[in-house]
């Protein structure tokens, strides 16, 4: 039997970052991954989706220039070769996953390709596939076992994945574009992909059980996205549940009044959420405490069993790559003897829709629920020169701060390119900035960042450009 100090199950952003940091700190580390390293994020999540969104945006922009453009640009009718688009996206994925593999090698991590099956809290067997016979593989013992097995898309019982019913994974590698697509679920993954497909010329219909799109964000933030959906010609069926497929393969839906109808679409993208990957590798034998379907962890990512740790999506919400990475780095440092706790001031979240949404820290509603006496102020991009020159003056930046000492509690923004503001938002929260700090910072002109400064000034009662 092979031995290790740290054995990591899963090479996604949580697992591979933990492995690199652990190896840097001199911990003998083995990482087991069944697919390519990089996990959901690099292979079938964050990176491929952002590549497809960019390609769709470029195509859409050109298509607009076919007729008339206020910029005075006219171009011929654009054509998209989706097979080449997919190959370009795959090239980015390969560069990134290849880069991660090199980093792991360089830092001295032993990567074992195969399916890990837990024997006990200190022993794992590596087999060739989830279907392989137990007892047929390599056994590795460990001092520390780190669960980083991620998550998987949730299927609808009435409509399992297969043929025209696809998950985000298939939607990110289209061999051909359908003429029409229904997207079930108006969360961030469904909305990002639904908008991208629409921009590529597909007739898109969104079906959502709740009464509004992007229910995780407040209505002020989702309103510009709703307006953009309408402008793009996306059909919306809100407060509608999905019943399944009829004999002709059409999607059966039911509205809030109970009226049933069908949607004749070529493809159905089910994006109703993701669940922690906890089955199929013997995890249940450890009898860990669970938090719903996620592994329960404390603020050091320890599970209920000594020496067994969990990070990233398998440990529940928020299921975001940067959270997984931060937890992975922390666990490696704790194992090496450092004192660390996972208590970030905020975990920012970005929705790469058109326009984009970014949130970091508390919204006005969340501050109120938390019983904090807070002030908030917004600055619209319609008064920001840079936004105008980018033709994206819809949206705003909003700040939330304590009324008594002006400590900033949260930032939100919606608008073109606002994802890049997340660093400034999170840094100001992490560094304990007050409104005066941001208002007194010189922001480059012209930039979207000026809207951050103006929002802080407005909260203090002296915005200059509104």
Ligand X SMILES: Cc1cc2nc3c(=O)[nH]c(=O)nc-3n(C[C@H](O)[C@H](O)[C@H](O)COP(=O)(O)OP(=O)(O)OC[C@H]3O[C@@H](n4cnc5c(N)ncnc54)[C@H](O)[C@@H]3O)c2cc1C
- 187 part of the interface to ligand X, by CB under 6 A: no
Q: What is the DSSP letter of 212?
A: S
Return the H-helix or E-strand segment holding 139: strand 138-147
What is the SS3 assignment for 87? helix
Site string for ligand X, 87-116 (x = CB under 6 A): ----------------------------xx
Q: Does 189 bind ligand X (CB under 6 A)?
A: yes
Residue 312 interacting with ligand X (CB under 6 A)? yes
Q: Looking at beta carbons only, is 104 or 374 nearer to ligand X?
A: 104
| Shortest distance in whole angstroms from residue 385 CB to ligand X | 28
CB within 8 Å of 227: residues ≥ 6 apart: 394
CA-closest candidate to residue 453, choices 379, 381, 394, 362:
379
Query: To 10 degrees, the CA torsion angle through 459, 464, 465, 466?
Result: 50
Q: Is 196 in the site for ligand X (CB under 6 A)?
A: no
Least distance to ligand X, CB of residue 172, Å: 6
CA distances for 466 relative to 211, 378, 383, 404, 463, angstroms: 33, 10, 7, 24, 6
Binding test (CB under 6 A) with ligand X, winner from 151, 222, 363, 453: 151
Distance of closest approach, residue 453 Cβ to ligand X, in angstroms: 26
**Which residue in the set 21, 144, 237, 322 belongs to the binding site for ligand X (CB under 6 A)?**
322
Segment interacting with ligand X, rule: CB under 6 A, options 77-85, 155-163, 226-234, 311-319:
311-319
Name the 3-class secondary structure at 245.
strand
Among positions 125, 208, 313, 333, the unique one binding ligand X when judged by CB under 6 A: 313
The yes or no reply on residue 348 touching ligand X (CB under 6 A) is: no
Which residues lie below 8 Å from residue 417, measured CB to CB, with a gap of 6+?
A: 356, 390, 392, 448
Among 7, 22, 33, 435, which residue sits at the site for ligand X (rule: CB under 6 A)?
33
Interface with ligand X (CB under 6 A), residue from 80, 320, 367, 433: 320
As given in the structure block, the two tokens for residue 14 are 């949580």
Three-state DSSP at 101 gives helix
Q: Is 10 in the site for ligand X (CB under 6 A)?
A: yes
How far apart are CB 359 and ligand X at their closest, in Å? 13
Q: What are the C-alpha distances in Å from 298 to residues 174, 316, 329, 340, 345?
A: 40, 12, 15, 12, 17
Closer to ligand X by CB, 281 or 425: give it. Answer: 281
- Check residue 86 for interaction with ligand X (CB under 6 A): no
Query: Is the Cβ of residue 115 or residue 381 nearer to ligand X in the bound state?
Result: 115
Q: Which stretch binds ligand X (CB under 6 A): 146-154, 258-266, 285-293, 302-310?
A: 146-154
Min CB(319)–ligand X separation in Å: 4
CA dihedral 315, 316, 322, 326 (to 10 degrees): -30
Q: Which of 301, 321, 367, 463 binds ligand X (CB under 6 A)?
A: 321
Closer to ligand X at the Cβ: 41 or 183?
41
Q: Are 165 and 327 in contact (CB under 8 A)?
A: no
> 219-232 and 188-199 are packed helices; what angle lies between their axes, rounded to 10 degrees?
20
Structure tokens at 63: 């298509």
> Which residue in the set 86, 168, 384, 392 belongs to the binding site for ligand X (CB under 6 A)?
168
Q: Distance between CA 316 and CA 296 in Å, rounded? A: 8
Interface residue with ligand X, options 93, 96, 272, 324 (CB under 6 A):
324
Q: Confirm or reject binding of residue 149 to ligand X (CB under 6 A).
A: yes
Tell me if 281 contacts ligand X by CB under 6 A: yes
In this chain, which of 6, 41, 359, 424 binds ligand X, going by CB under 6 A? 41
**276 lies in the site for ligand X, by CB under 6 A:** no
Question: Pick from 8, 32, 375, 429: which binds ligand X (CB under 6 A)?
Answer: 32
Catalytic site includes residue 406:
no
What DSSP string runs through 67-85?
T--TTS---------HHHH
DSSP conformation letters of 255-308:
-TTS-EEEE--SEEEE-S-EEE--SSSSGGGG---EETTEEP--TT-B-SSTTE
Q: Are 75 and 51 in contact (CB under 8 A)?
A: no
Q: Which of 4, 49, 376, 426 binds ligand X (CB under 6 A)?
A: 49
**CA dihedral sign, ordered 427, 431, 433, 438:** negative
Query: Choosing from 54, 406, 445, 465, which is the catalytic residue?
Result: 445
Among 234, 230, 312, smallest CA distance to 45 is for 312
Total residues binding ligand X (CB under 6 A)? 34
Residues marked active site are found at 445
Question: Which residues of the chain form contacts with ligand X (CB under 6 A)?
Answer: 9-15, 32-35, 39-41, 45-46, 49, 115-116, 148-151, 168, 189, 277, 281, 312-313, 319-322, 324
């Amino acid at each position: 039997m092979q031995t290790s100090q740290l054995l990591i199950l899963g090479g996604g952003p949580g697992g591979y970052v933990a492995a690199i940091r652990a190896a840097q700190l001199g911990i003998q580390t083995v990482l087991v991954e069944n697919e390519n390293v990089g996990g959901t994020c690099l292979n079938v999540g964050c990176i491929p989706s952002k590549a497809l969104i960019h390609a769709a945006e470029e195509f859409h922009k050109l298509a607009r220039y076919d007729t008339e453009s206020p910029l005075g640009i006219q171009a011929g009718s654009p054509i998209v070769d989706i097979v080449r688009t997919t190959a370009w996206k795959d090239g980015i994925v390969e560069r990134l996953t290849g880069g991660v593999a090199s980093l792991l090698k360089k830092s001295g991590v032993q990567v074992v390709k195969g399916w890990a099956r837990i024997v006990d809290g200190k022993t794992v067997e590596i087999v060739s596939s989830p279907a392989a016979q137990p007892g047929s593989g390599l056994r590795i013992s460990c001092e520390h076992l780190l669960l980083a097995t991620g998550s998987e898309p949730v299927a609808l019982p009435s409509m399992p994945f297969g043929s025209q019913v696809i998950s985000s994974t298939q939607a990110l590698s289209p061999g051909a574009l359908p003429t029409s697509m229904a997207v079930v679920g108006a969360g961030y993954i469904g909305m990002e992909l639904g908008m991208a497909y629409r921009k590529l010329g597909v007739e898109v219909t969104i079906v959502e059980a709740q009464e509004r799109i992007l229910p995780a964000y407040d209505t002020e933030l989702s309103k510009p996205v709703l307006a953009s959906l309408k402008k793009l010609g996306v059909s919306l069926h809100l407060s509608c549940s999905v019943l399944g497929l009829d004999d002709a393969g059409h999607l059966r839906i039911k509205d809030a009044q109970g009226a049933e109808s069908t949607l004749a679409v070529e493809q159905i993208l089910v994006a109703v959420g993701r669940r922690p990957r906890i089955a199929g590798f013997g995890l249940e034998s450890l009898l860990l405490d669970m938090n719903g379907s996620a592994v329960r962890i404390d603020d050091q990512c320890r599970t209920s069993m000594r020496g067994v740790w969990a990070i990233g999506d398998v440990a529940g919400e928020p299921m975001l790559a940067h959270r997984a990475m931060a937890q992975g780095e922390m666990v490696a440092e704790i194992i090496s003897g450092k004192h660390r706790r996972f208590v970030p001031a905020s975990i920012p979240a970005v929705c790469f829709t058109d326009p984009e949404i970014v949130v970091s820290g508390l919204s006005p509603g969340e501050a109120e629920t938390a019983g904090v006496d807070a002030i908030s102020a917004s600055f619209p991009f319609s008064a920001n020169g840079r936004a105008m020159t980018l033709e994206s003056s819809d949206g705003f930046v909003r700040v939330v701060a304590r009324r008594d000492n002006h400590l900033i509690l949260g930032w939100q923004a919606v608008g073109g390119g606002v994802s890049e503001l997340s660093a400034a938002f999170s840094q100001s929260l992490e560094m304990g900035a007050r409104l005066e700090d941001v208002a007194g910072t010189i922001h480059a002109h012209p930039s979207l960042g000026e809207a951050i400064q103006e929002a802080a000034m407005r909260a203090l009662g002296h915005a200059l450009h509104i």
